[in-house]
RNA sequence: GGGCGAUUAGCUCAACGGCAGAGCUACAGACUCUUAAUCUGUUGGUUCGGGGUUCGAAUCCCCGAUCGCUCACCA
């Protein structure tokens, strides 16, 4: 059974799936794992025809705790410690910092077909929705302290309260400590030494904790959200899911203060991104936005969900990884088509369910696959009419959908070549020097190149087909197997054993250059 | 030091108590203009090591190794 269907099958009654994110900056591609995991669980529940809602919260009352290195430090340092919804937007088109980065993230959601009901913590606080929870946690601060102590062995002072107000003097929320509560107002101090990354202003006073004047600490806030929204399923990254970790603490608080059972939980693993291959100099990297601009949505979903949540995913946008992703997807598509041809309403196996849940829409979109790695190769051949080439190499005539898929892949392949490919992953023509690897050529191969140079020199029609014929017939005439002949040619120009169709390749080069190079290689020791 | 997770073919992963598998790679063939293409086939395993439970263990238990994450605050 597919992992998400297992979770769906274990539930009873109406389900509320929840996930959330602090919009502290650009979102790394790894953050998409949680998003996709929850989306797939949501879809699995729908597929099982169980009543379900999917919520996504933006924790924009959290404090700005560092200035990302891609922002102007001087401009944002003054806002350290303030709620993200009160920090100015770093760019056009958003009212504030939190909205700016969360809407960037939501564009990716939209692209991936993830459509949860979105809510903002600022609204929950300011509209007073969390007031009853704030009151209850303040009244029962001792129970919260107990939970912290028992679960994660963290000591809290006797007069510690699970609440932080926004300082009325300096606007920071991270530095305030509440030390008293009279049922209507709390007494707070904005402490200079409360946080390592920012100093409080030293102000203090009595203030109402309600209607957006402050927030609950994260672990406590989590509980309030669960109860307010009726959350029944919420997974968390494994960093939160350790024994004694934040999820454990939140669970304990929910049990202690409300006597209720916490939502279903299971940790999910990270996505490990091979950092060295990332080209930061080209300004591209592994942000969720960048990767979603590179990969077609169903491929990105496929990457995230075919692996069960508790297994780590290794992903780098290098040749090996990215071509494999496309190939695996195509393999699944072909398997599905075969199944479809043999049965009316086929039962989907586990791998095909991964394909199903990868779709942005409701049905699996089938097409005639055209190998992605071949496209990467073809795009590097100068002056090649790629569409004609695709047509020629496809078994069946391509229909409208096929072309859509191919065109999308051409775009991806080109973008990958431009922004992500390492030099050694690209086709390199050696114009100025003879590739080193020609040194290993055998005597017969050198004789062949020499003969080929003579034949080509006399060739009148410098054109792909004719060149291909000449390369081939020369090898026949000398009795040298094509398996030896062609690599000799490729090595002379590319330094590799293989390459694009040799005739075409040479036809794009100057005749004099080709002849000279062949002779140079032939006589070199 | 404590905790959690992982470790299966060269690589990426599947199998989750019932014959250890797939894709890619590699290798070998086929296609008598044949070159990043296509097709066929083959190789490849002490399931990290050691012990135990079981009729039966990659799977469950114990000990150990390696790797990753985590264990003040914040999230």
Reading the block at residue A520, the tokens are 């140079």
Structure tokens at A261: 């059972």
Integer Cα distance of A305 and A113 in angstroms: 14
The spacing between the Cα labelled CA in A245 and the C1' in B6, in angstroms, equals 20
Angstrom distance, A324 CA to B23 C1'? 9
- Comparing CA positions, the residue from A50, A239, A221 lying closest to residue A125 is A221
Given a cut of 80, whether residue A95 has pLDDT beyond it is yes
Q: Please compute the mean of the pLDDT values over residues A349-358 and round it to a whole number.
A: 85
A37 Cβ within 7 A of any nucleic strand B atom: no
Q: Which residues pair with A187 in a beta bridge?
A: A180, A206
CA A72 to chain centre: 26
Helices (H), A60-191: 73-76, 97-111, 121-126, 131-139, 141-152
Measured CA to CA, the distance from residue A414 to residue A376 in angstroms comes to 7
Query: Looking at residues A72-79, what average pLDDT do you find?
Result: 92
**Does the CB of A508 sit below 7 A from strand B?**
no
Per-residue model confidence (pLDDT) at position A309: 84
Mean local confidence (pLDDT), A326-343: 83
Q: Distance between alpha carbon A289 and the CA centroid of its chain, in Å? A: 8
Q: Given pLDDT bands bounded at 50, 70 and 90, which one contains residue A80?
A: very high
pLDDT-based confidence at residue A280 (cuts at 50, 70, 90):
very low
How many whole angstroms separate alpha carbon A37 and alpha carbon A236?
10
Please state whether strand B lies within 7 Å of residue A148 at its CB atom: yes
Handedness of CA A59, A65, A67, A73 (dihedral sign): positive
Alpha-carbon dihedral A495, A500, A504, A508, rounded to 10 degrees: -50
C-alpha–C-alpha distance, residues A503 and A171, integer Å: 70
A269 touches strand B (CB under 7 A): yes
Task: Report yes or no: A18 and A57 within 8 Å, Cβ to Cβ.
Answer: yes
Q: Over range A508-517, report the average pLDDT.
A: 86
C1’ B10 / CA A286, Å: 28
CB A299, CB A408: distance < 8 Å:
no
Q: Does strand B come within 7 Å of the CB of A487?
A: yes
Radius of gyration of chain A from Cα atoms? 31
Kindly list the domain boundaries of chain A, sorted by start residue. 3-121+218-271, 132-215, 313-425, 436-523
Instruction: For residue A364, give the 3-state DSSP assignment.
Output: coil
Q: Would you say the C-beta of A244 is within 7 Å of strand B?
A: yes
Residue nearest to nucleotide B4 (CA to C1'): A242
Separation between the CA of A95 and the C1’ of B58 (whole angstroms)? 55
- Tens of pLDDT, residue by residue over A177-198, are 999 999 999 999 998 888 888 8
Q: How far is CA A514 from CA A216, A365, A519, in A?
A: 73, 46, 9
> Any alpha helices (H) in A306-344, and if so which ranges?
319-342
| Smallest CA–C1' separation from A425, nucleotide | B36
Q: What is the pLDDT of residue A282?
A: 43
CA–C1' span, A395 to B70, in Å?
Answer: 53
Show the tokens assigned to A356. 């199903």
Distance from residue A11's CA to nucleotide B48's C1', rounded to whole Å: 37
What is the per-residue pLDDT across A119-146, written as a single tens digit (0 to 9) for each?
999 999 999 999 999 999 999 999 998 8
Question: What's the Å distance between residue A426 CA and nucleotide B53 C1'?
Answer: 55
User: Within 7 Å: CB of A218 and strand B?
Assistant: yes
Q: Tens digit of pLDDT for each residue in A381-400?
A: 777 778 888 887 777 788 88
Listing DSSP states for A502-518 in one string gives HHHHHHTS-HHHHHHHH
Class of domain A3-121+218-271: alpha beta
Average pLDDT of span A402-411: 90
- pLDDT bucket at A275, cuts 50 / 70 / 90: very low
pLDDT value for A274: 57
What local confidence, expressed as pLDDT, does residue A425 receive?
74
| Nearest of A51, A66, A61 to residue A20 by alpha carbon | A61
pLDDT at position A161? 92
Judge if A313-425 and A436-523 fold alike in CATH terms.
Answer: yes
What gap in Å lies between CA A81 and CA A87, rounded to an integer?
Answer: 10
A40, A50, A61, A64: which is closest to A14 by C-alpha? A50
Tell me phi and psi for residue A366, to 5 degrees.
-100, 160
Query: Residue A202, by phi and psi: left (phi above 0), alpha (psi -120 to 50) or beta?
Result: left
Better pLDDT: A248 or A344: A248
**Span between the terminal Cα atoms of chain A, in Å:** 62
The share of chain A scoring above pLDDT 90, in percent, equals 33
For A436-523, CATH number out of 3.40.109.10, 1.10.10.10, 3.40.50.300, 1.10.10.350 equals 1.10.10.350
Phi/psi at A14 (nearest 5 deg)? -70, 140
A460 or A46, greater pLDDT = A46
For the segment(s) A313-425, the CATH number from 1.10.10.770, 1.10.3720.10, 3.30.565.10, 3.30.450.20 is: 1.10.10.770
The string of pLDDT tens digits covering residues A218-263 is 999 999 999 999 999 998 887 787 777 888 889 889 988 999 988 8
Residue A525 has pLDDT above 60, yes or no: no
Distance (Å, whole) CA A186 – CA A144: 17
Percent of chain A with pLDDT over 70: 96
Euclidean distance between CA atoms A320 and A424, whole angstroms: 12
State the pLDDT at residue A70.
86
Nucleotide minimizing C1' to CA distance for residue A472: B33
Beta strands A186-190 and A176-181, pairing class? antiparallel
Site of tokens 């990270």: A270
Q: With H, G, I as helix, E, B as strand and everything else as coil, classify residue A441.
A: coil
Reported as a pLDDT band with limits 50, 70 and 90, residue A483 is: confident
| Strand B bases contacted by the protein (CB, 7 Å) | 2-6, 11-15, 23-24, 33-38, 68-75
**Banded model confidence at residue A348, pLDDT cuts 50, 70, 90:** confident
Helix, strand, coil percentages for chain A (3-state, nearest 5): 50, 10, 40
pLDDT at residue A221, rounded to an integer: 94
């Amino acid at each position: 059974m597919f992992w998400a269907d297992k979770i769906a099958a274990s539930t009873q009654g109406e389900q509320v799936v929840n996930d959330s994110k602090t919009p502290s900056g650009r979102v790394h591609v790894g953050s998409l794992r949680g998003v996709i995991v929850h989306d797939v669980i949501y879809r699995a529940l729908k597929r099982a025809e169980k009543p379900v809602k999917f919520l996504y919260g933006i924790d924009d009352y959290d404090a700005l705790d560092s200035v990302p290195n891609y922002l102007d430090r001087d401009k944002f340092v003054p806002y350290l410690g303030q709620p993200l919804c009160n920090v100015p937007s770093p760019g056009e088109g958003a009212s504030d910092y939190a909205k700016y980065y969360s809407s960037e993230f939501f564009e990716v959601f939209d692209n991936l077909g993830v459509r949860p009901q979105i809510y903002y913590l600022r609204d929950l606080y300011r509209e007073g929705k969390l007031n009853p929870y704030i009151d209850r946690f303040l009244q029962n601060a001792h129970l919260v302290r107990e939970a912290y102590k028992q679960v994660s062995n963290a000591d809290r002072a006797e007069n510690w309260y699970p609440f932080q107000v926004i300082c009325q003097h300096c606007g920071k929320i991270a530095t305030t400590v509440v030390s008293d509560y009279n049922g209507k107002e709390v007494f707070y101090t904005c402490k200079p030494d409360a946080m390592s990354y920012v100093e409080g202003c030293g102000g203090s006073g009595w203030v109402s904790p309600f209607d957006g004047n402050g927030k609950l600490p994260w672990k406590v806030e989590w509980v309030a959200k669960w109860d307010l929204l009726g959350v029944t399923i919420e997974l968390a990254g494994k960093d939160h899911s350790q024994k004694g970790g934040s999820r454990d603490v939140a669970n304990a608080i929910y049990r202690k203060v409300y006597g209720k059972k916490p939502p279903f939980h299971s940790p999910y693993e990270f996505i490990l991104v091979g950092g060295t291959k990332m080209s930061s100099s080209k300004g591209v990297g592994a942000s969720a936005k960048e990767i979603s601009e590179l990969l077609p949505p169903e491929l990105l979903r496929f990457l995230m969900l075919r692996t069960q949540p508790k297994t780590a995913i290794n992903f780098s946008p290098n040749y090996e990884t990215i071509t494999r992703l496309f190939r695996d997807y195509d393999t699944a598509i072909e398997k599905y088509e075969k199944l479809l041809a043999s049965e009316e309403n086929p039962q989907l196996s586990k791998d095909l369910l991964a394909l199903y849940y990868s779709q942005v829409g409701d049905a699996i979109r089938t097409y005639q696959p055209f190998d992605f790695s071949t496209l990467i190769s073809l795009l590097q051949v100068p002056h090649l009419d790629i569409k004609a080439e695709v047509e020629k190499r496809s078994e069946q005539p391509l229909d409208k959908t096929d072309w859509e898929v191919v065109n999308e892949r051409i775009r991806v392949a080109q973008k990958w070549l431009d922004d992500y490919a390492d030099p050694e992953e690209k086709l390199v023509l050696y114009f100025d020097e003879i590739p080193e690897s020609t040194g290993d050529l055998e005597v017969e191969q050198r004789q062949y190149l020499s003969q080929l140079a003579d034949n080509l020199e006399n060739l009148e029609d410098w054109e792909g087909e004719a060149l291909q014929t000449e390369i081939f017939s020369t090898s026949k005439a000398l009795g040298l197997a094509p398996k030896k002949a062609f690599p000799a040619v490729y090595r002379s120009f590319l330094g590799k054993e293989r390459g694009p169709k040799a005739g075409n390749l040479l036809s794009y080069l100057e005749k004099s250059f080709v002849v000279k190079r062949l002779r140079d290689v032939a006589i070199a020791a």
